[in-house]
Amino acid sequence: MNCEAARRAIGADPALSTAELEAHLQSCAACSQFREEMRALDAQIRRALERPPDIAPRQVRRERQPWQRWAMAASAVLASFAVLGVWLLRPSDTLAREVVAHVQKEPESWFATQHVSAKEIAHALGGAGVALDLTSEHIMYAQSCWFRGHYVPHLVVQTATGPATVLILRHEHVTARRSFHEAGMSGVIVPAEQGSIAVLARGNEDLGQLAGEMQQDVHWLPER
């Protein structure tokens, strides 16, 4: 057993104790410490789950007076114009920022080291109604993520220069390719047959080729 296998086993079940694992831990102080950390974390998780989650009851909506409804409608119209104005001014900037923010929320995606099963890839793609030519040995991470009101496939593919994140955005339309750099990541959003595709990498990577390949590899199925 090597360190990677030991850590995956411990991470999945910190209470696990097998002869093979114990033999590895005898000779590996770092993994031994890792198990101590994970067991301490698991004790905390147990404590956290002891009580039901603190969920506030949904607020009951009270009936409003007619003038209140008109005031709210007027406010909503004004707010809509304001949001629309901002949206129209810099749409792709906003989209790019949200793409970066989403990827930042899943930092472990960059460190995935095992290929994802075809079933998991199908699950990630299925919610968005897309199919992919890419074979599963290139995909290290595949999730169906909630993004701007829709489930979108969030993939990490292994390239010659390292991992790259791909978000397939069926409902986000852009008119032209847009590159961006933010939070230590470089990225590009390209228009696609339906919607757009965002490709990101850590550092200063040229993602033009990968984005072009993804435009070819993604197939858009009829929306359910």
Partner 1 sequence: MRNSPPESPVFSIGERPPAADAGAPLTSLFESMRPDLLRFAQWLARDRSIAEDIVQEALLRAWRSREALKDPSAARPWLLTIVRREHARLYERKRLELVPLDELVELQADPRSAEPDDDVYALRHAIMRLPIEYREPLVLQVLGGFTTEEIARELDLSATAVLTRLFRARNKLRVICGLPAAAEVSAVPQP
Question: Judged by CB, which is closer to partner 1: 120, or 217?
Answer: 120
Radius of gyration (C-alpha) of the chain in whole angstroms: 23
60 forms part of the interface with partner 1 (CB under 8 A): no
The 140-159 contact track toward partner 1, x by CB under 8 A, reads ---x-xx-------------
Is residue 187 part of the contact set for partner 1 (CB under 8 A)?
A: no
- Taking CA atoms, 58 is separated from 22, 42, 55, in Å, by 49, 31, 9
Find out whether 207 and 187 touch, Cβ atoms under 8 Å: yes
> Contacting partner 1 (CB under 8 A), which of 113, 161, 204, 209?
113
Q: Smallest distance, Å, CB 175 to partner 1?
A: 27
Contacting residue, 21, 42, 126, 182, with partner 1 by CB under 8 A = 42
Cβ proximity to partner 1, 140 vs 190, nearer residue: 140
Q: Which of 18, 41, 77, 80 binds partner 1 (CB under 8 A)?
A: 41
Instruction: Decide if residue 54 touches partner 1 (CB under 8 A).
Output: yes
Q: How many angstroms separate the Cα of 99 from the Cα of each of 43, 57, 131, 184, 187?
A: 34, 31, 21, 13, 9
Distance CA 207, CA 200 (A): 7
DSSP run (H or E) holding 74: helix 66-89
- Residue 187 contacts residue 100 (beta carbons within 8 Å): yes
Give the binding site for partner 1 (CB under 8 A): 1-4, 7-9, 11-14, 24, 27-31, 34, 37-38, 41-42, 44-49, 51-58, 107-108, 111-114, 117, 119-120, 143, 145-146
